[in-house]
């Protein structure tokens, strides 16, 4: 899903100039290695597939906190901030910077 609060911009981002969502409807990430840096930080390496191209990336994943919800599930929040180059994934629309910042927030339930 793309949500920029601007319908025209979202339509353009979904077009062939950028994500080509009809041809490539999913962005996927599969981790291949996780290295613990300390109690709250991890180095994650994996394969990012976007726009039909797969590239290996590495980024830092930070544990934000942990809490027990009303159903007695232990939940943990995690966050990652990193950049990728659009051109590495075949997105070459002119007039924009090549590096794109990605912010990922995750919440998991301990099992």
Give 44-66 pLDDT, tens digit per residue: 999 999 999 999 999 999 999 99
Rounded-to-integer distance, Cα 67 and Cα 74, Å: 6
Confidence check: pLDDT of 96 > 90: no
Q: Is the dihedral of CA 63, 106, 65, 83 positive or negative?
A: positive
């Amino acid at each position: 899903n793309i949500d920029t609060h601007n319908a025209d911009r979202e339509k353009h981002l979904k077009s062939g100039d950028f994500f080509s969502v009809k041809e490539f409807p999913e962005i996927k990430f599969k981790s291949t290695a996780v290295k613990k840096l300390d109690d709250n930080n991890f180095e994650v390496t994996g394969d990012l597939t976007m726009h039909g191209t797969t590239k290996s990336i590495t980024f830092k994943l930070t544990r934000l906190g942990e809490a027990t919800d009303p159903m007695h599930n232990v939940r943990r929040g995690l966050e990652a901030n990193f950049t990728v180059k659009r051109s590495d994934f075949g997105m070459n629309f002119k007039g924009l910077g090549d590096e794109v910042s990605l912010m990922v927030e995750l919440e998991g339930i301990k099992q």
